[in-house]
Chain A
Amino acid sequence: MRSTKTLVLLLMVVAALSLAVACGGGDDEEPTTAPAAAVATATTAPAAQPTATTAPAPQATVKLIKIGLLSPQTGPIAQYAPGFEDAGKVAISEINEAYPGFKFELIVVDSGCDGTQAATAAQSLVDAGVVVIVGAACSGATLGAIAVAAPAGVPMVSYASTSPAITTADDDGRLFRIVPSDAQQAVALVQVVSGAGSSNPAVLYMTNDYGAGLGDNFELNWSTSLCTQIGYDPTEGSYDASTLAQSVVDGGCDSVVLMSYATDGAAIMEALLAQGFAGSIFGADGLADAAFQESFTDMAALDRLIATKPRPGEDSAVKSDFESAYAAIGGAEGAIYTHETYDAIKLVAAAIVSDPDGDLVAALKKTGINYVGASGTHTFDAAGDVLGTGYSVCEFDVSGSSVGFSCPKIWTADGGLTAN
Chain B
Amino acid sequence: MPVNDMWQRWVLIPSWQRQLLLGVFLLFDAYLGLIHGAGVIGWSGLFTGELKWLALTVEMTAGGLVLVRIFLSQAGQGQRWKLFSVVATPVLLAVLAFGVLELVLSGLGRSATINFNLASIGSSGLYWAAAYLSVAIGLTLTYKVQRFANFAQAEMMIFGAYVALTLMWSDRFFPISDAPKDGVLNWELMIWAGISAFVVTGLVGLFVDRIVYKRLRSKLAKPQVMMIASLGIAMVIRALLYMRFTARTFRFVPDRDWKLATSKFEVQTERLQVHLGDRVGMPIVEFAENVTPYGFAFTRVALIVGVFGAVLLLLILLHRTRLGRQMRAVADNPDLAASSGIHVERVHGTSAFLSAGLAGLGGALLATVLPINPELGLSLLLPAFAVIVLGTVGSIPGVIIGALVVGMVRAASEPVLIGAGNALDRPTASGFAEVMPFIFLVGVLLVAPQGIGHAIHQWNIERIRQRRRAGPAVVPSRARGAYDPLGRRSEETNNGATYLDRFNERKELAFESVGRAISTAWEVPGSYLTRLSVAIKSVGAAGSGFVSGVRIRPGKMIPIDRETERGSWIAFGIFFLLLIGIVWFLPSVTNLTKTLQVARIVTLVGIFGLMAFSLNLHTGLTGMTNFGVIFFVGLGAVTVGLLSAPVDTNGYGWAPWQATILAVLISAVAGWLLVYPTARLRMDYFAIVTISLGEMLRISLQAEPLLRAGTVTSAIGISQFARPLEDWWEAGPSVGTGNLLGLGGPAPYVVFLAVLTVVAVLAVWFLLNTVLSSPWGRILRSIREDEEISQHHGHNILTHKAASLALGAAVAGLAGALWAWLNTSIFPDFMNPVRSTFLVWAAFIVGGRANNRGMIIGAFLIVIVEFLFNVMVVSRGNTDLALHNVVGYVDTAFSWLVVDVGGRIWSALSISQAFPKGTVFAELSHLKLALIGCVIVGALLLSSKGLLPEIPGRPKRPVGIAPDGFDEEEKAG
Contact = CB atoms under 8 A, between A and B. Distances in A.
Contacts of A64: 879-880
30 contacts: A2-B970, A5-B553, A7-B554, A17-B582, A18-B582, A21-B587, A27-B881, A28-B587, A28-B882, A75-B829, A78-B373, A121-B870, A123-B867, A127-B871, A147-B822, A151-B750, A163-B711, A164-B711, A165-B719, A215-B427, A219-B427, A242-B123, A243-B411, A249-B292, A250-B117, A273-B261, A297-B253, A330-B917, A330-B918, A334-B249
A216 interface: yes
B389 interface: no
A112 B835 contact: yes
Given A14-B578, A114-B830, A79 B375 contact: yes
A163 B951 CA distance: 50
B581 interface: yes
Nearest to B555: A1
Contact of B719 (A112, A141, A143): A143
B277 interface: no
Interface in A242-278: 242-243, 246-247, 249-251, 263, 267, 270, 273-276
Nearest to B875: A24
Given A127-B587, A232-B430, A73 B926 contact: yes
Contacts of A169: 719, 824-825
Contacts of B877: 66, 105-108
A349 to B, nearest CB: 14
A306 interface: no
Contacts of B939: 10
B589 A38 contact: yes
Contact of A126 (B433, B575, B593, B926): B593
Interface string B683-702: 00000000000000001001
B795 interface: no
Interface string B544-575: 00000001111100111111000000010011
Interface in B809-836: 819, 822-825, 827-830, 832, 835
A61 interface: no
Interface stretch (A94-102, A206-214, A282-290): A206-214
Interface of A: 1-11, 14-15, 17-18, 20-28, 30-32, 35-36, 38, 40, 42, 44, 64, 66, 73-76, 78-82, 105-110, 112-117, 119-121, 123-129, 138-141, 143-144, 146-148, 151-153, 163-165, 167-170, 203, 207-209, 212-213, 215-217, 219-220, 228-233, 235-240, 242-243, 246-247, 249-251, 263, 267, 270, 273-276, 295, 297-298, 300-301, 329-334, 401
A38 B593 CA distance: 11
Among A25, A66, A76, A237, residue most surrounded by chain B Cβ atoms (within 10 Å): A237
A332 B248 contact: yes
Contacts of A275: 292, 294-295
Contact of B261 (A24, A141, A232, A274): A274
Nearest to B273: A250
Given A3-B561, A165-B715, A109 B253 contact: no
Contacts, number: 423
A104 to B, nearest CB: 10
Among B242, B714, B917, residue most surrounded by chain A Cβ atoms (within 10 Å): B714
A325 to B, nearest CB: 12
A188 to B, nearest CB: 16
Contacts of B761: none
Contacts of A31: 880
Contacts of B587: 21, 24-25, 28, 127-128
B678 interface: no
A263 B297 contact: no
A300 B586 contact: no
A5 B878 contact: no
A121 B242 CA distance: 19
A53 to B, nearest CB: 21
A112 B379 CA distance: 16
Interface in B776-834: 819, 822-825, 827-830, 832
Given A7-B947, A140-B828, 17 more contacts: A2-B943, A7-B562, A9-B551, A32-B589, A66-B877, A112-B835, A119-B600, A123-B596, A165-B825, A169-B824, A212-B428, A235-B376, A237-B376, A242-B297, A246-B120, A250-B288, A263-B249
Contacts of A4: 554-555, 558-560, 562
A297 B256 contact: yes
Contacts of B415: 247, 250
Given A105-B879, A165-B710, A240-B124, A127 B597 contact: yes
A123 B595 CA distance: 11
5 smallest CB-CB distances across A and B, nearest first, come from A140-B827, A330-B916, A229-B427, A216-B714, A2-B973
B355 to A, nearest CB: 19
A237 B749 CA distance: 40
Given A5-B555, A165-B717, A20 B883 contact: yes
Contacts of B748: 151
A76 B829 contact: yes
Contacts of B43: none
A140 B717 contact: yes
A155 to B, nearest CB: 15
Contact of B824 (A120, A147, A249): A147
A334 B292 CA distance: 32
A115 B376 contact: no
B702 A7 contact: no
A36 to B, nearest CB: 6
Given A112-B835, A233-B434, A165 B823 contact: no
B716 A170 contact: no
A147 B115 contact: no
A116 B553 contact: no
Contact of A230 (B379, B427, B832): B427
Given A114-B835, A143-B824, A165-B710, A207 B428 contact: yes
A271 B271 CA distance: 18
A153 B592 contact: yes
Contacts of B418: 228, 230, 247
Among B261, B942, B969, residue most surrounded by chain A Cβ atoms (within 10 Å): B261
B56 to A, nearest CB: 24
B127 interface: yes
Among A38, A105, A274, residue most surrounded by chain B Cβ atoms (within 10 Å): A274
Contacts of A246: 117, 120, 124, 294
Among A14, A38, A297, residue most surrounded by chain B Cβ atoms (within 10 Å): A297
Interface string B627-650: 000000000000000000000000
A231 B430 contact: yes
Given A5-B555, A242-B297, A152 B592 contact: yes
Contact of B264 (A76, A233, A274, A300): A274
B849 to A, nearest CB: 15
Among A168, A203, A401, residue most surrounded by chain B Cβ atoms (within 10 Å): A168
